[in-house]
Every structure is written in structure tokens, then in C-alpha cells.
Amino acid sequence: MKPLARNDLLSLEQYARERADFRTRVLAHKRDRKVRVGEHVTLLFEDRLTVQYQIQEMLRAEKIFEAEGIAEELGSYNPLIPDGNNLKCTMLIEYDDVEVRKRELLRLRNIEHEVQLVVGDRAPVKAIADEDLPRSDDEKTAAVHFLRFELDAAAVADFGRGANAMFRIEHANYSAEARLNEAQQKALAADFA
């Protein structure tokens, strides 16, 4: 997928007029790009449309309209767009209770390095986590991580043909897996185009 450029974005005024419809379209698009792995981890897969929405919302919230500010947002978010050989996602670790969340983030240190994608009978592909900056330290992990799954050409072809695909987490304190349904697999297969 091609990175976003300034001319792909709507002006603040135009976005204000089109925001409700654009948001509805993006939320519908995201529905099949969300994978729940166990009770407390959600993977939200990014693509050009989801990233455009994030940028538009950021420009709106921060009232950014100058070229330099727009370029900065594009530079921050474009790396989340898959490039044809990978899937990219935001991983959310979710616990409603604040105290439980604090405790679990201590127990789940380095979970971001234990997320795998399995396509058919192929060897698992381990996520490459948080290339922008480390989000785990000696004490805890963050509740949000950015993951990239790099696939070789054969795995991409198998994924596109509908070979069984699943995400698995094998952490000492959290073990779960989620097999993609047909709609999810079709949505994510588009990221390899």
C-alpha cells in the first residue's frame, strides 16, 4: 500500500463537513480488522484508510493546518500502513479495572514479543514489536503496542488463498489464540495487494 501524502488528506473545513460519513465508513471497515485474542488482548489491523482516519482526527483535534505540522503527522502515522509483505496492527491490553490493569501489566511484561501469526502449516511468524520506541521496561509493559508481521511470498500466497490463519500468544502469564474467520481473513488479505 502506498503511503499517504498531503494531497490524500481533507482540509479541516472539508473534513468537518464529511466527518460523520467518513467516520461511519471507517468504523464499518474496521469491524473485520479487529481480532480478539483471549479475553484481554485485541489486535486492530491498520491500513491506508484507518491511518488516514487517525491522521484526520489528529489534525482536527490539534487544529493543525500548516504544512510542517501535517508533514509531521504523516511521518508519524505512515509507518503503520502495510507495504504488501506484512500486516501491521495496534495491540491493546484491556482490563476495565485500573488496579487489575496495573497488576496485569506487571505480569505481562514482554508479551508483545510473544505474539505469533500462523498461516496454514507454516512456521509461526513472530511479531516485530514497537519499532518506534520500547514500551516494556524491567517492571511492566504498556497497554498499547505496535506490531508488524513479516511474511514471505509463499505465506502471503497461502493467506490470500484462504489457508487457515490464526494469531497466538504464548506468554508465561497469558496464553490464547484466535483463528480468523472468513471476513477477517479477506479484509487482512487486502493488505498484501
The domain limits of the chain are 6-192
Residue 139 binned pLDDT confidence (cut-offs 50, 70, 90): confident
For 16-23, the CB contacts below 8 A with 24+ separation are 16/60, 19/56, 19/60, 22/53, 22/56, 23/53
Q: SS3 of 48, please?
A: helix
47, 192 contact by CB (below 8 A)? no
Give the pLDDT of residue 39: 97
- 11 burial class (0-12, 13-18, 19+ CB within 10 angstroms)? exposed
Question: Measuring CA to CA, which residue among 3, 11, 133, 125 is closest to residue 67?
Answer: 11
Residue 15 reports pLDDT greater than 80: yes
Name the packing angle between helices 12-30 and 48-62 (round to 10°): 140
Residue 133 reports pLDDT greater than 80: no
Flag the least confident range among 92-101, 124-133, 148-157. 124-133
pLDDT tens digits for range 17-70: 999 999 999 999 999 999 999 999 999 999 999 999 999 999 999 999 999 999
Residue 140 binned pLDDT confidence (cut-offs 50, 70, 90): confident
Strand runs (DSSP E) across 16-133, as ranges? 34-37, 41-45, 86-93, 115-119, 125-126, 128-129
